[in-house]
Amino acid sequence: MRRVVMLALYFLIRHSNAMALPGRFSVECSPSYATNRMYSHQMQPPPYDQGGAIRIHFGGAYHFVLQEHCSLSLGLSYAFGRIALAREAGESVSAIDEAYVLDYVWVPVLCRLYTSEVMIDTSIYCKLGIIPSIHLPLRATAPLHSGAPPFLTKRPLGCFILLGGGIKYDFSLTNSLFVGLSYCWDVPGVMYKKDPNNDSMNCYCHNNFVCLDLCCLF
């Protein structure tokens, strides 16, 4: 799947150069901290998250200039997440100790707003957008109980809301560097689990990201 993403980015660059669109292309890499919010209104005892992990997402985007201080970007990224969940055994429930690597294909649609220069060649930006996502197959990193099905059942599609900001530095007429922070909120949740013994008991998990954004625009 990573090869498919890289090929799509390559053809996007070729297409943008051939069409000479009024915009710019960017390459982006964001180290991130994946956090999970897990809850259940009725399942007792509920499973709990065992902590976040350092992850990364990378890709590219094309930036359309809407106005002097506003741009819209459409991109394609490959992202890594993680979920580690556990539950103590009870009288009627089994113990859970599972961990998974989550892989996503993101299609971020972001709007950036820029200030005037606060220093020479330097401005401040904020960005807001949505990220439709495709959830790729799970990869377990912790052994599951023998013969037991995995507790995590992942949605095939998802959507994130992104909010962030930072500094934009123009180091030439055609090249810029963005450095900032952003938060990606998993709106529907990566997991929707029904208790096989009771359809009214559900468990939810949201895989959120705190990101250090590094972006080169050219």
In the chain, domain spans = 2-217
Tens digit of each residue's pLDDT (9 = 90 or more) over 20-36:
446 899 999 999 999 98
CB 168 within 8 A of CB 114: yes
In whole numbers, what is the pLDDT of the chain averaged over residues? 83
The residue among 9 and 173 whose pLDDT is bigger is 173
Range 143-165 burial, b when 16+ CB lie within 10 A, else e: ebeeeeeebbebeeebebebebb
Please report the pLDDT score of residue 82 as a whole number: 87
pLDDT surpassing 80 at residue 150: no
What does pTM read for this prediction?
A: 0.81
Which of 90, 38, 30 minimizes the C-alpha distance to 56? Answer: 30
Ramachandran region of residue 59, left (φ > 0), alpha (ψ -120 to 50) or beta? Answer: left
Please report the pLDDT score of residue 185 as a whole number: 95
CB 138 within 8 A of CB 190: no
As assigned by CATH, the class of the 2-217 domain is mainly beta
